[in-house]
């Protein structure tokens, strides 16, 4: 494992209590950052904080609610100070159904969390980064946002929108020392699998040329560099973690 220096950095990681978010949390802690994890699941949040020990803050937040996000950032500033790193990892997959049968309430829920939530969190954190003329942001999209998975129209659309949001914000902040990038991982075995049908999981695996799912630590290794000061030029970009699946 490469030694990425994040000493003195303060990170917010949404969805940081489990799955990819937890892997990011552990990697950033190993690199010297102080981390505040945001999660909607209070029970999981408490367990994760207890397991990780010192150097970790924990704030319960519903990222689909802008007032909850604003309050969470105020709490984070009190606990840790201004965030210099933001990783937007919280998200849901939703049901696997054809578009013409897709439940409208589920569509709205997925867009509210995956897209609107990413917008609300970026909107809350960016002002302090601009004030401090420094920041590193990684938004977690998906290879589904590039290619579109069948029977996952809401998820695919939400992640495609996260890619567009990232590119737009990266250009807006290009005159500051703030890098805004996103990653497009293929599927990893995380709790999000619990929301999917087995046939959809098999479909995703069959599309990956490496013939296996992404390991969460592999994603964390890429993200650790993206949020470091060494990433001093690249912004508004998409970093592929699809095991060869992505066609562009």
8 A C-beta contact, residue 34 and residue 14: no
Is 155 a residue of the active site?
yes
Cβ neighbour number for residue 230 with a 10 Å cutoff: 11
- Out of 73, 134, 155, 248, pick the active-site residue: 155
- Residues written for the chain: 248
Determine how many CB atoms are found less than 10 A away from the CB of residue 90: 26
Rg (CA), the chain: 17
Residue 91 contacts residue 192 (beta carbons within 8 Å): yes
Residues 65 and 123 sit within 8 Å (Cβ to Cβ) = no
Cα→Cα distances 47→161, 192, 195, Å: 32, 18, 22
Alpha-helical regions (H) of 39-116: 42-52, 66-79, 104-110
CA 172 centroid distance within chain = 20
CB 87 within 8 A of CB 11: yes
- Catalytic residue list: 155
């Amino acid at each position: 494992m490469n030694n990425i220096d994040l000493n003195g950095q303060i990170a917010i990681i949404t969805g940081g209590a489990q799955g990819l978010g937890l892997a990011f949390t552990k990697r950033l802690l190993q690199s010297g950052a102080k981390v505040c994890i945001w999660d909607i699941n209070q029970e999981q949040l408490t367990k994760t904080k207890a397991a990780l020990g010192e150097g970790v803050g924990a704030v319960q937040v519903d990222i689909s609610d802008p007032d909850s996000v604003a309050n969470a950032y105020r709490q984070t500033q009190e606990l840790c100070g201004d965030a210099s790193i933001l990783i937007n990892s919280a998200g849901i997959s939703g049901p696997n159904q054809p578009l013409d049968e897709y439940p409208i309430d589920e569509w709205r829920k997925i867009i509210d969390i995956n897209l609107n939530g990413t917008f609300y969190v970026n909107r809350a954190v960016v002002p302090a980064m601009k004030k401090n003329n420094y920041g590193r942001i990684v938004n977690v999209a998906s290879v589904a946002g590039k290619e579109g998975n069948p029977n996952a129209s809401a998820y695919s659309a939400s992640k495609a929108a996260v890619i567009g949001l990232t590119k737009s914000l990266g250009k807006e902040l290009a005159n500051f020392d703030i890098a805004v990038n996103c990653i497009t991982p293929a599927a990893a075995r995380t709790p999000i699998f619990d929301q999917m049908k087995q046939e959809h999981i098999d479909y995703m695996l069959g599309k990956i040329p490496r013939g296996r799912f992404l390991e969460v630590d592999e994603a964390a290794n890429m993200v650790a560099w993206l949020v470091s000061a060494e990433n001093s030029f690249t912004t508004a970009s998409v970093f592929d973690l699809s095991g060869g699946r992505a066609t562009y």
